[in-house]
Structure 1
Amino acid sequence: MEFGLFVQGYVPAARARTDPQAEHNALMEETQYVIQADRSGFKYAWASEHHFLEEYSHLSANDVFLGYLAHATERIHLGSGIFNPLPQVNHPVKVAEKVAMLDHLSGGRFEFGSGRGAGSHEILGFLPGVTDMNHTKEIWEETIAEFPKMWLQDEYPGFKGKHWSLPPRKVLPKPYRGSHPGMWYAAGSPPSYAMAARKGLGVLGFSVQKVSDMEWVVDSYKTAITEAEPIGGYVNDNVMVTSTAICAETTDKARQIAVNGGLNYLQSLLFRYHDTFPRPEGIPEWPELIPEYTEELIDLLIAEEFMICGNPDEVLRQCKRWEQAGADQLCFGLPVGIGYGDTMNTIKLIGEHVIPKIDTDPVHRTTRFREAASA
């Protein structure tokens, strides 16, 4: 199992009240998290693309963010989590161009994650007059298979669809060193995992909350991937899942960081904006907040495998549970409200004590798939 990091430009109001440069400092700190993850042996870093989501995510221009990190890092793969390819948000040709350019700037370390967006406040801002988020599925389906054609064919033959069109054109640049970056889809429901597998896409499982969720993820995906008809140059057989992670030198310190980290506020914002996610029983409607986390609740979340938290030995055992459940990649959505120092310490401790004992392959999984396709 490989390891990744997820950043999103989280700028809570409490931070903004005490720091006039909160937005700037948050974005700059998150570049440092990725740089440290690169040094600590993480193989992937994923950056969100969100729009209009005050506090929750100010990372809207993730292509610019990742372009900076392409120069600032050496080994870590840099992924769009996601680039939204709906033509009303980003024209598909411009998405293809950005992917290929980042592939060059990173020396072949870019990963192309796509999706339809998870919240109506965000996506329907680009689709005036539309009220049904299911409409975006049709648009994404029409678009996603066109990207490999733009990258791999000398001249793209053009496209005339229901939602966008383009005459024949050479789409430049072409990806670096043949083939194209790994293609991924941000999936939520079991049918979405199977759909992605049939297209040969890896899955970004942002909606997977605990280890037991892996059962239906792996079953639906790994069964369908055996009969994949890839839309690209190869099958990216990959399931990535996300979990909150806090690692400290002692158990008590890790739990205290979690209690004081404002995790309830971040979770409340998630359900405020991601209104297409299933809402668990007991989650209040915004602006009412999820109650603050207590030590007892933190212990329960750890026991129920909803979060990773503890000293390095405990975190290692918790990560191995995800590996045993079949995850190809475990990505940490760091609770950045815990502070810069504690976040950096989590990255360093996991890199030193956890990753070397689980991920012993020096080559990225997607690199192997891509190189085989280019051979």
Structure 2
Amino acid sequence: MEFGFFAQGAVPAPLAEGNPGLEHQRLMESVEIAVRSEAWGFKYAWASEHHFLTEYSHMASPEVFAAFVAARTTTLHVGSAITNTTPAVNHPVRVAEQVATLDHLTEGRYEFGTGRGSSTTEMGGFGVTDWDSTRDMWAETLREFPKMWASSSYHHDGTYFSVPERNVVPKLYRKTPPPMWVAAGNPETFEIAAANGLGVLCFAFGPPAKSKIPAAAAAYKAAIGDCDPVTGYANDNILCVTNLVCCENRDDAFKLAASIGMSYYHSQVLRWLDTFPRPKGVPAWPELIPEPTPDEVERLAATGAIIAGDPDDCAKGVEIYRDLGIDQLVFSPLTTQMSLEDALASFELFGTEVIPRFDTDPVHRTARLRDAAES
């Protein structure tokens, strides 16, 4: 099992009050965690793409973040989680150019996450009023990217975008495309990912064993062996994002986790991501989901809803995800109101004490898959 960091550029109002420079601060803190995590055994740094979602995410350009981090690291893989590939938001040719450029600049360390956005606020800002149409937009672009990278005479005349005959440059640094992923919020997307040989990026809200993840992950693993891979090889990977609070003293970890506004972030999720169904009994914004007590955090950690406690507690939480078939666990401390100091301490302790129990292979799983496709 492998591990990563998730950068979202959250700018929560409780921290922003009296700090007009918080937006810049949090972006630079995300860079700091990503860069330093490499030395602690983390293999991946992911950055989201969102637009217009105040507080929730001010990360609009994951490719820029990835390039900045890659320039300061040597082995860390950097990726978009996700790049919005709907033509209304990002023209597919521009996306193909950016991915190929990053493949060169990182010398094969870039990973290409795709998706269609998660909010009518986002898509409406780009003139898309029919949310359901974004699935077809994404599907139309998916298999066009490898064609652009492979052909010196590419053209496309589709429903959502058209390109006259052109040579899209640069081509890729490697012979095969970078690992491709798709963001998944429901079991149907897991199925689509498996059919196309894509890795899956998903999020854990609540105990993973009681969510849709176990059945979706099992179906994905059963189907991906028979896929028709977009890239020519299957990126057999399920990635899940959750929170991490790791301290030497478990009670300190539970107290810290109860104080960083995890529920405030979840309230922001439901404020903006209106394409997801609202769970029963969860209040609508601006009413807030209550923050957990330290005792409640301890109970949540026991279910894997968050990875929290001392290193042994955290290892037990990781085992829950591993046993569900998750290949990569990714942590997003700065979606909460956690300080940079606490986030770095948590990452360092987890990296030195927990990661070696689960990841003993210095080679990235995605690198092995890509290398095998070229051999």
Q: Size of the alignment, in residue pairs?
A: 372
8 Å contact from structure 2 (residues 254, 295) kept in 1: no
Aligned to 2:184: 187
Task: Quickly say closer, same or farther: Cα 1:357–1:226, change in 2 above 3 A.
Answer: same
Aligned to 1:40: 40
Aligned to 1:133: 131
Shift of 1:257: 0.6
Shift of 1:209: 4.5
8 Å contact from structure 1 (residues 188, 207) kept in 2: no
8 Å contact from structure 1 (residues 49, 61) kept in 2: yes
Aligned to 2:166: 169
Matches within 5 A, 1:1-375: 1-128=1-128, 130=129, 132-156=130-154, 158-206=155-203, 209-212=206-209, 213=211, 214-334=213-333, 335-375=335-375
Q: After TM superposition, which residue ranges in structure 1, 4 or more long, deviate above 4 angstroms?
A: none
- Point out the more displaced range, 22-31 or 276-285: 276-285
**RMSD, matched Cα:** 1.3
Shift of 1:278: 2.8
Shift of 1:270: 0.7
Instruction: Flag structure 2 segments of 5+ consecutive residues without an equivalent.
Output: none
Output the amino acid matched with 2:223. Answer: A
For each residue in 1:25-61, what CA deviation from the matched residue of structure 2 results, as whole angstroms up to 9, or x when unmatched? Answer: 1110010010011121111111000000101101112
Q: Quick one: percent identity of the two aligned structures?
A: 45
**Distance (whole Å) between structure 2 residues aligned to residue 222 and residue 75 of structure 1:** 27
- The TM-score with structure 2 as length reference comes to 0.96
8 Å contact from structure 2 (residues 265, 336) kept in 1: no
Shift of 1:139: 0.8
For each residue in 1:258-310, what CA deviation from the matched residue of structure 2 results, as whole angstroms up to 9, or x when unmatched? Answer: 11111121110011111122322221111111112212321232233211100
8 Å contact from structure 2 (residues 262, 336) kept in 1: no
- Point out the more displaced range, 85-94 or 216-225: 216-225
Shift of 1:317: 1.7
Instruction: Flag structure 1 segments of 5+ consecutive residues without an equivalent.
Output: none
Shift of 1:370: 0.8
- The TM-score with structure 1 as length reference comes to 0.96
**Distance (whole Å) between structure 1 residues aligned to residue 268 and residue 102 of structure 2:** 30
Name the SS of the counterpart of 1:337 in structure 2. Answer: coil
**Distance (whole Å) between structure 1 residues aligned to residue 216 and residue 3 of structure 2:** 18
Task: Quickly say closer, same or farther: Cα 1:321–1:304, change in 2 above 3 A.
Answer: closer
Task: Quickly say closer, same or farther: Cα 1:147–1:178, change in 2 above 3 A.
Answer: same
8 Å contact from structure 2 (residues 53, 272) kept in 1: yes
Shift of 1:210: 3.1
Name the SS of the counterpart of 2:79 in structure 1. Answer: strand
- Point out the more displaced range, 297-306 or 82-91: 297-306
